[in-house]
Every structure is written in C-alpha cells, then in structure tokens.
Structure 1
Amino acid sequence: MFAHRLPDFQKTKYARFMNHRVPAHKRYQPTEYEHAANCATHALWIIPSILGSSNLYFLSDDDWETISAWIYGLGLCGLFVVSTVFHTISWKKSHLRTVEHCLHMSDRMVIYFFIAASYAPWLNLRELGPWASHMRWLVWIMASVGTIYVFFFHERYKLVELLCYTVTGFLPALVILSMILFHYMSYF
C-alpha cells in the first residue's frame, strides 16, 4: 500500500515509514525506518553468504566447481557488503555526499556483477548446449556494460537502468532453449 494513494487521515499513519514518490530525475530519499530496515536486512545476510560460499568451496570436487564457487561467493558477499556499507553511510553519514554518491553507484554496479556471478555455476557446470559457452562471456560483458552505464548515467534514466537489469538478468536464461534444442537434436 502506498501512502500517496491513501485517504488524508491515513497518510499521517504511514508518513514516517515511506516518503512520497520522487520525479524521474531525482533520487528517492528513504525515511529513518527505511534506512534502518535497509541496513539490517542487508547486513543480516553477510555472515550466511560467507558461510554458504565457504561451504560451496569446500564441497567443490574439481577446478570448474571451485572457480564457480569463488565467483558466486564473491558476487553474493560483495552484494551484501557493498549494499550494507552504502545504506549505513547514506543513513548515518549523509553529510559525506561525494562518498555517498560513489557508494550508491557501487551499490548499483555490484548488482550487475551479482547477476553475472549467479549464472556462473549454472553456465559452467551444466551441459547446456552450444549457446552456453558464448553466454558465459556475454553475461559478464552485459554486467560490464551495465556498470559503465551506471558510471556515466547514474539516476538519469531510471527506465533504461531497469531495462538493463532486466536484460542482464533474463537473457542468459535463454540458454535453456539451446539446451532443449541440443538434447532434442541428439535423439535424431
């Protein structure tokens, strides 16, 4: 439920939890509650992501599994650490505008690399057909392009940024079509 859609008597009830929608060219400014929730929910997952990544590493049986465990683990841990640092600085040290801006860009950039890292085990360890070998590199190229986009156009074109995240997250999954065609053709 969004506060701007509520009747006036209910808006005050939710006002401290959520701010009004901002224009497309402005950055959303979280409330104190949102800052606290962002810090807590991101920090909460740092230790489990380190433990889970370590477990993947120690359960690896060969070089490809070890590499995939490292890539995924670094992507996952990096996501939560960078995001926690950004949200904490943004909340408690908002007077450090340049640092906050750099961390906000880093927070957005690390999402691209987490998406790419999430595909690493799947693309490296499964027989997915001929597209998979190309997609292993394409997903990292897309993450790099997304990072460059954030660096140059941070917070300017939010719809384009959303589209970049969506394409980076969805396009590598199309490898499953290659897998289906590859296995289907192998029967003939």
Structure 2
Amino acid sequence: MKRVNSFQRFMNRRASANCRYQPTCYEHAANCYTHALLIVPAFVGMTLLHRLSDNNWEKITAWVYGMGLCALFLVSTVFHIITWKKSHMRSVEHCFHMCDRVVIYFFIAASYTPWLNLRELGPLAAHMRWFVWLMAAAGTIYVFNYHEKYKLVELAFYLTMGFFPASVVTSMSNTEGLHELACGGLIYCLGVFFFKSDGVIPFAHAIWHVFVALAAAVHYYAIWKYLYKAPSADTLLDS
C-alpha cells in the first residue's frame, strides 16, 4: 500500500470530460524541462539551415521552418512555467494555453514547408504550399472558438493536418527523405497515446514531449540531409 501511495504522488486523478488535467509539481517540472532544453538547439538548427541556404527562397524557407520549431518549444515552455508557478493568473494561463494549441497547427505547416517549397511538385500539388497554412489558420479559429470543449475533435484536426499534406509529399518524383518523414510521423502517432494518458500514466505529458522532440529531430535530420546539406566531393565528381 505504501508503494502505491508513493507512486500516486507523481500523478493526480484523471480529469473529467472536457476539463484540463492538473499535473503534480513533479509533472509540472518535467513538462517544463522537456521542452525548455530544446529551445536553444532549435534556434541553432534554424541558424544552420539558414547558413546552408544557397538562395533567398531557401533562406526564407529555413526561417519559416526554424521559427515554427522554436515557437513550438518556446510557447510550450512558457505555458507550462505559468501553469506551474503562476496558477493564480488564470487569464494569462488561459491565453498561453490557447497559444500552445495554436502553435501546433503552425508547427505542422512549418514542418511541411521545406518539402513543399524546395522539392519539385506537380501543378495541383503546388497549391498545398498555401493550403497547409490555410488549415493552420482554420485550426487557430477553431481554438479561439472551441478551446477545450471538444478535445477529440481537436485531436482529429491535428491528425488530419498532419497526414493530409503527406499525400502530396509522398507523390514527389524525388523520394529521398520520405523514409525519415514516415518514421517521424510514426513517432508522433505513438506519442499521441501518452498525450491522452494524463491521470493514467505518470508524467504522460512529459513523455509526449519526448516523443515530439524525437520526431522533430528525425524530421530536422531529413530536411538537413536531403534539402540543405551541401553535396559531398564524391557526389560532385560523379556528376
């Protein structure tokens, strides 16, 4: 019984329908650190892609993707810090909670941007470059109107936006990097299990953060290697 009680201190009861789970102090700390430690690496990664860019279009694409990556970890960290340390500031907390949800839509759009901008696409597929941002805008409108009311609907929106542009990316004639894209997508999907397990598994949200970090790292590696990395000397000689 003592073991059960000591274990339970790391997790509170599961939240009721359409209510937000209240983490323990240990979970709050884990939620903050698991994304706070990635802000600087994300900024460094954005800078690296910018330096590897050969033209203005690649630089703009690197900036858009990098800002989406940095914003994801930064906004998440700020929200969790406010929730942990400033719980009495309900209006500010609510605002950053919405921002935390909104930034996910823009992060998904930003993650697809390098592939849609820097790979050759067909005439119909090229419209996805703009449509993916329209989906992000639609998600933002949804959050500001129905925040925390229909959690399953919101999750369905995230998954739809995550998979729908993939139908275009996977149809590209150049398939380099698609294996990494698929692996990253699978990691995100596996992490969703923990995203919905607050109050069931201790540190579930922090574990979700780890899955997000791993998936983002796989996708970043693919973008760096196949879209930005300078060709090797052997490749230049072969060409």
Please tell me the TM-score bracket, short chain as reference: 0.7 to 0.9
Match of 2:46 among 49, 53, 62: 53
**Relative to 1, partners in 2 of residues 1:97 and 1:135: Cα closer, same or farther, differing over 3 Å?**
same
**Equivalent residue, structure 1, for 2:117:** 124
Matches of 1:10 and 1:135, distance apart in 2 = 53
Tell me the equivalent position of 1:67. 60
Q: TM-score, normalised by structure 2?
A: 0.69
The CA deviation string for residues 79-125 of structure 1, in whole angstroms up to 9 with x for no partner, is: 11111110000000000000000000000100100000000001100
Deviation string, structure 1 residues 129-179 (Cα, Å, up to 9, x no partner): 333311111110111111111111010000000000001111000103543
Q: What does the per-residue CA deviation read over 1:10-64, in whole Å, with 9 as the maximum and x for residues that have no partner?
A: 5423212122221221111111111100111111000000111001111100122
Instruction: List aligned pairs for 1:32-181, cutoff 5 A.
Output: 32-176=25-169, 178-179=171-172
Change in CA separation of 1:9 and 1:131 when aligned onto 2, cut-off 3 Å = farther
Structure 2 match to 1:186: none
CA contact (8 A) 2:106 2:136 kept: yes
Please report the RMSD computed on the Cα atoms of aligned residues, expressed in angstroms. 1.4
Mark the runs of 5 or more structure 2 residues left unpaired by the alignment. 174-239
The number of residues matched between the two structures is 173
Are 1:28 and 2:30 counterparts? Answer: no
Distance 1:119 1:140 in 2: 10
Identity of aligned residues (%): 65
Equivalent residues of 1:128, 1:179 under 8 A apart = yes
